[in-house]
Every structure is written in C-alpha cells, then in structure tokens.
A and B are shown apart, each in its own frame.
Chain A
C-alpha cells in the first residue's frame, strides 16, 4: 500500500495552463490530443527527489518509498 488510490482530500488544487505549440504541418496548426501518458510523472518525481538531495545520487526507480528515500539520503551523505 505504498501508493493507495487518491481520495479528494489527498489531491491538491490544480491550475491548468495551456502550452501552445502549433504544428507547421497543417493549415490550422492543430495537433491530435489524447490522454496523456503516465510515463513522464514518475521520472519527474524521481528527478525532483534527485535534485532535492543534492544531485549527487541518481534515482533510478520508483516507488519512492520512505525506506528507499532514506537509503538515497544515506548514499548522498556518503558521496
């Protein structure tokens, strides 16, 4: 149960912004849009933790459980 399903109170308020990047491949500049992939967020989270602990230790997997993060901190302290 490292990652239980989010409930409403677990979810922060969101601000949605549009990133506008029209394509030159058609007259309207429109792109197809589907559901976004879920590959990027875990990598972004891992990169954020990596940055937060000083950038000296690579974070190469998820989930970022408390024991794993503690181990990373110890490795960072020893690096």
Chain B
C-alpha cells in the first residue's frame, strides 16, 4: 500500500473570487473549477487535450484546463465562461453565438468562446482564416464551424465599434 502524497494548499482566483483549498497533487484544473469551485460551465469533453471544451483563460492565456494541474495554477487568475457576462449582459462573443446561431448542442461552446476571447485580444480584427486557425484546438461535432466563425466575426465587429 503506497502512501498517498499529502494534499497541497492551492489558491486560485476564478472570475475574481479567491478559492483556497487543500487538493490532491494530481487534481486537474478543470476538476478544481467544476467540482471544487462548483463552476460547471467549463466542460470536460475528452480529458486528453484534444477537444478544447475545457478551455479557460489562465493569466490571460487560453489553456485546456484538463492539461493543467490545479497545483500548477496556484496563484493564477482564471476566467471561465461564467466570468464573461457582466450584470446579466452577455459578452459580445456570447451574444455573437446567439445572433449567428453558433451552436447546436452547446457542449463545445464554452471552450470555443474562451478560445475566441484570446483571439480577439490578440487580433481585434481577425480574418476568417485567423478565426479558423485559432479554433484549431476546439472540436465541434454539430455545426461544421461555419456559424461559429460567423459568431466570432460578429463579435469582433461589435467590439471594434465599442
């Protein structure tokens, strides 16, 4: 019987709220977000870094949170899909998915939107090719991506107009 490693104290800020918990060293960030912090908008699609449904912003960078240990994110500032809407008003990217029908089943949508967040921070006026390139780590099995690209292009226009 191998002795289990001791739990680690971890402090992660998620959408502005500080979460301090003792967690197993092997706990994945996505499970910290979903189960420890109770924010289930971030989805687990594949658990193997392929599908992108678990994408969140970690210190401003889009990461697949199934590929990051909670302990690695100690001290980090995380933004999840729940952190985008302000005072009940959807973020322009969320609104874009609504306007352009950028989803069908919706499972991939949180990851798509968080990946799009990083894209629009880096490239406020992306070409459709740049949008497609940015989404290459996110899999959608419903839409064929067309309306997802439309949704993000719509959001880029809205954000550009301020």
| Residue B100, interface by CB 8 Å | no
Judging by beta carbons under 8 Å apart, are B128 and A9 in contact? Answer: no
Judging by beta carbons under 8 Å apart, are B141 and A8 in contact? Answer: no
| Residue A17, interface by CB 8 Å | no
Q: How far is the CA of A2 from the CA of B87 in the complex (A)?
A: 47
Judging by beta carbons under 8 Å apart, are B136 and A11 in contact? Answer: no
The 8 closest A-B pairs by CB, nearest first: A8-B135, A8-B145, A8-B132, A9-B132, A14-B146, A11-B145, A7-B136, A9-B136
Q: How far is the CB of B40 from chain A (nearest CB, A)?
A: 24
Which residues of B come within 8 Å of A, CB atoms? 128-129, 131-133, 135-141, 144-146, 148-149
Q: How far is the CA of A7 from the CA of B140 in the complex (A)?
A: 8
| Residue A32, interface by CB 8 Å | no
Given contacts A5-B139, A7-B138, A13-B128, 19 further A-B contacts (CB under 8 A): A5-B141, A6-B144, A6-B145, A8-B131, A8-B132, A8-B133, A8-B135, A8-B138, A8-B148, A9-B129, A9-B133, A9-B135, A9-B136, A11-B132, A11-B144, A11-B145, A11-B146, A13-B146, A14-B146
Which residues of A come within 8 Å of B, CB atoms? 5-9, 11, 13-14
Q: How far is the CB of A29 from chain B (nearest CB, A)?
A: 25
Q: How far is the CB of B70 from chain A (nearest CB, A)?
A: 28
30 examples of A-B residue contacts, CB within 8 angstroms: A5-B141, A6-B144, A6-B145, A7-B135, A7-B136, A7-B137, A7-B138, A7-B139, A7-B145, A8-B131, A8-B132, A8-B133, A8-B135, A8-B136, A8-B140, A8-B145, A8-B148, A8-B149, A9-B129, A9-B132, A9-B133, A9-B135, A9-B136, A11-B132, A11-B144, A11-B145, A11-B146, A13-B128, A13-B146, A14-B146
Q: Interface of chain A, helix or strand or loop or mixed?
A: loop
Q: How far is the CA of A6 from the CA of B128 in the complex (A)?
A: 17
Residues of B within 8 A of A9 (CB): 129, 132-133, 135-136
Residues of A within 8 A of B137 (CB): 7
Residues of A within 8 A of B138 (CB): 7-8
Residues of B within 8 A of A8 (CB): 131-133, 135-136, 138, 140, 145, 148-149
